[in-house]
Amino acid sequence: MATLKDIAEQAGVSASTVSRVLHSKEYINPEKRTQILKLLEQNSYILPEKPVQNAETRKAITIGILISDTYNMYRRQFFSSIERYLNSFGYRALFFFVKFDIASQKESLEHLKSEKLDGIILHNELSLPAFTDYITKRNIQAVSTICNDDPFPTIKIDDRRAAAEAVNHLISLGHRNINLLYGNAFSYGRERMEGYYEALAGAGIERDENRIFSVGRYTCEAGMYGMREMLLRRRDFTALFAASDDLAIGAIRVLQDEGIRVPEEVSVISVDDVEIANYFIPRLTTIHQPMDEIAEQSVINLRRLMSGGNGINSEIIIPHKLIVRESTSAIVH
C-alpha cells in the first residue's frame, strides 16, 4: 500500500502537505489539492473517517504513546511523525513519559489507568510485569516500535544488522581499532552491541572489552561523557561506532575540543540519521532509520488491530540504509 511519503513524492510536496489535504485544511493551492486527492485515489490510500469515534462512547479514539522521558533528537523527530499519522486518521494522541525505573513505571501505569485508551504505541521498554498484564487483560490493542521482548507486534529496523553494517563500513576503510559507545538501558542498544561484535568476528578482529563503553542515555551529553571516559582509558582507536546520532554528536564535540580531527584521526559512524546529521560538521556517516515509515506502519497496524484485523506479523522489519557522508574516511598508515 502506498504511504503518505509515497504520495508526497509523487506530488512533489511534503508529507505534512498531504496530511493537510487529508484533514481538509486551508492554505493549499487548489490545483495541488486536486492533484494530491487524485493520487490518493489512484494509490487506494485509506482515507481517514472523520470524526473517528469509539462506537461505545461516541468519543474520538484516543491512542496512548508510551515513551521514555529522555527527549533526544531522534525521539523529537519520531514523535512528530507519530502524531502526524495519528492525526491523519483523526485519532487523539496522549503521551505518557516514563523513566526506565520501576517506580516511574508504576506511576505511569496509574496515570494510564485513569484514561480510556483505545490503543497504545509503545516507544519504551516495560520492565514492570503489571504494565504488560494491564494492557493484555484489558484487551487494549498495542504495537511496539522499540522492542520485540513484549507480547505485542513490533515495527522496527533490524538493529543488529544495522550495527554490523555500520562497523563493516569502518572495517572496509581499513580500521581495526574500533571502539563502541552505546546505551545499556534498552534492548536495541544491546542488539547494536551484538552487531558490533558480529562485524568484528567476521573480519577476524579479536574482541576487546576495553573498547566497549556504555552510558545510561542516548543523548549528546551522554556521548560527551562517554568520549571523555574513552580518552582517559586509551587513545589508540582510529574509529568509533556510536549506537545513535546523539551519542556520535556528543562524542565528536569532545574529540574536536581535544584537537582530534574527525575523520582524519578518528572516523565516527552512528545509527538513526536524524535531520541534523546532514548539517552537523562534519556531516555524519550513519545508518538511516526510516522513522517516518516506522511511525506510519505503527499507526496503520494499530488501526488494523483496533478494527479486529488479524494476520499482523509479530515483527515487521523496516529496511535501513547506510548513508556515507563526511565523518568516516580510510585509515592513513
Least confident among 18-22, 177-181, 194-198? 18-22
Q: Which of the given ranges, 12-26, 38-52, 197-211, 294-308, has the highest pLDDT on average?
A: 197-211
Same domain? 71 vs 89: yes
Q: Give percent above pLDDT 70 in the chain.
A: 88
Residue 310 in domain:
yes
pLDDT value of residue 57: 47
Give the global pTM: 0.82
pLDDT at 15 over 90: no
Domain that holds residue 280: 159-289
Which grid coordinates belong to 54?
469509539
Least confident among 9-13, 203-207, 242-246, 301-305? 9-13
pLDDT band at 50 (very low <50, low <70, confident <90, very high): very low
- Pairing assessment for the beta strands 321-323 and 285-288 based on DSSP bridges: antiparallel
- Give the residue, 268 or 137, on which the prediction is more confident: 268
Q: Which of the given ranges, 24-33, 54-63, 290-299, has the highest pLDDT on average?
A: 290-299
- Give the residue, 247 or 29, on which the prediction is more confident: 247
Same domain? 177 vs 92: no
State pLDDT tens for residues 127-186: 778 888 999 899 999 999 987 667 889 999 999 999 999 999 999 999 999 999 998 877
Same domain? 11 vs 132: no
| Structural domain total, the chain | 3
- Residue 36, Cβ neighbours under 10 Å: how many? 24
Same domain? 126 vs 13: no
Which residue in this structure is represented by grid cell 480510556? 116
As a 3-state breakdown, the chain gives helix, strand, coil percent values, each rounded to 5, of 45, 15, 40
For residues 222 and 232, what is the distance between their CA atoms, to the nearest angstrom?
Answer: 15
CATH code of the domain covering residue 129:
3.40.50.2300
pLDDT at 199 over 70: yes
Which grid coordinates belong to 146?
522499540
* β-bridge mates for residue 120, sequence order: 64, 142
Same domain? 57 vs 147: yes
DSSP per-residue string spanning 213-276: EEESS-SHHHHHHHHHHHHHH----SEEEESSHHHHHHHHHHHHHTT--TTTT-EEEEEE--GG
Which grid coordinates belong to 157?
529496523
Identify the DSSP state of 10: H
Same domain? 298 vs 268: no
pLDDT value of residue 147: 73
For residues 328 and 84, what is the distance between their CA atoms, to the nearest angstrom?
Answer: 34
Q: Give percent above pLDDT 90 in the chain.
A: 54
For residues 139 and 137, what is the distance between their CA atoms, to the nearest angstrom?
Answer: 5
